[in-house]
Amino acid sequence: MEQLTHILRGLLGITVFVGLAVLFSENRRAINWRVVTIGLLLQFVFAGLVIYAPPVRYAVELVGNFFVKLLAFTNEGTKFVFGSLVDQEKHGVVFGLSILPSIIFFSAFTSALYYLGILQKIVWVFAWVMTKTMRLSGPETLSASANIFLGQTEAPLLIKPYLNTMTRSEILCVMIGGMATVAGAVMIAYISFLGGTDPAQQVIFATHLITKSVISAPAALLIAKILVPQTEAVSTELAVNKEKIGSNLLDAICLGTTDGLKLCVNVGAMLIVFTALVALVNYVLSGWLGDPLGLNTWVATATGGVFKSFSLDFLLGMLFAPVAWLMGISNDALLQSGALLGTRTVLNEFVAFIDLARLKDTGLYTDSRNLMIMTYALCGFANIVSIGIQIGGIGAIAPAQRENLAKLGVKALLGGSLACFMAAAIAGMLV
């Protein structure tokens, strides 16, 4: 009976999320419902194979184990540079030394795979499946598939020759694909957040995060085709850009290391600034409004102590709690989950994952099913900052599309969020 309730709520959630996309569609009459239906089926098939087909699950767990091994290799490098400062038994988890270096190493490793052509072949397989089943253009499916492994500004490099001539619908696919998934370099940090130092836990969360990235590819495509339906003729060519990163393998690794360092510094800087801004906003809300107006006491009583004062977390929790319910979160964790979803959207996913890990470690968020659903929901770049990142990053390699990128920014944020929510709802139904 409980499983049936999960399934019915998940179906309701998917219906609402698709309905919201239809509500904001530019041309409802032109929506290709075959693409939408196939996209939904692909998500269920991909997720179902991982969860219920032992050979597929074993293969994904092998990939998860590989990610965990990469974390261990990163630790060797950080120990060599920072010595005992990264000894977690002595100093605990020092975020800047224990977590951020994994971004640098994975970025370098990904660049090596890209130079060798291995990554392109894996991406091509996923793109071929979606092109044949959903009958979409080659470039947009290639970009969506690349987002399983690469970030929102790196994946478009695989289709660089096509970007300037792509339609608005195809460009939105590229943008939503970037926002609905996370780069492998960032994913490996999330594995460390949620899995801690336990290799078994790390593999579990790695499996979920990898699965989420895979099912988000068709989710991004179907949402994009609802928001801006394809009405023009498109290229069906499925060819990966052969331009390589670096002049040789060593140069590729060096360039990947430099890019990883930039991302690492950027993530660290954003966390410092956004954490400080949240503290500032909470100080104003609780100190200037909460105390004088008695809101702090009211919030603490009304939420049963889940929130101690009138704060940004409380406001975001109230706003996004209905979304959390539609994804399948249990009633006792709706406010906390809503706050995490709001944090991901308003600030960024890194802050949200850190908050989720903190709630998990302190015993305030222990239900394994809720934790799994939120892992799927938060795993994406769908936040306000990403609009600017995509306009600057994709616009730099496709100047002719800068105007479209700017105009489609809000739609991409909505689409990326809906794709993440849909993936979480499907996971909640199947597990």
pLDDT in tens, 296-336: 999 899 888 888 899 988 999 999 999 999 999 998 899 99
Band of pLDDT at residue 19, cut at 50, 70 and 90: very high
Tell whether the model's pLDDT for residue 238 goes beyond 80: no
Q: Which of 112, 90, 410 is nearest to 257 (CA)?
A: 112
Q: What pTM value is reported for the model? A: 0.89
- Angle between helix 138-146 and helix 118-134 axes, rounded to 10 deg: 130
Band of pLDDT at residue 370, cut at 50, 70 and 90: very high
Where along the chain do its domains lie?
2-263+367-430
Residue 135: strand, helix, or coil: coil
Q: What is the mean pLDDT of residues 371-400?
A: 87
Question: What pLDDT sits at residue 62?
Answer: 87
Can you tell me the distance from the alpha carbon of 43 to that of 51, in angstroms, rounded to the nearest whole number? Answer: 12
Q: What is the mean pLDDT of residues 406-420?
A: 93
Query: Per-residue pLDDT tens for 244-265?
Result: 677 889 998 998 888 888 878 8
Q: Burial of 273 by CB count in 10 Å (0-12 exposed, 13-18 middle, 19+ buried)?
A: exposed
Contacts of 217 (CB under 8 A, 6+ apart): 126, 130, 144, 145, 147, 148, 177, 180, 181
Query: Per-residue pLDDT tens for 72-124?
Result: 888 888 888 888 777 766 655 566 777 778 888 888 888 888 888 888 888 88
User: Which residue type is seen at 401?
Assistant: Q
Cα–Cα distances in angstroms (integers) from residue 303 to residues 31, 313, 369, in the given order: 42, 12, 22
Tell whether the model's pLDDT for residue 391 goes beyond 70: yes
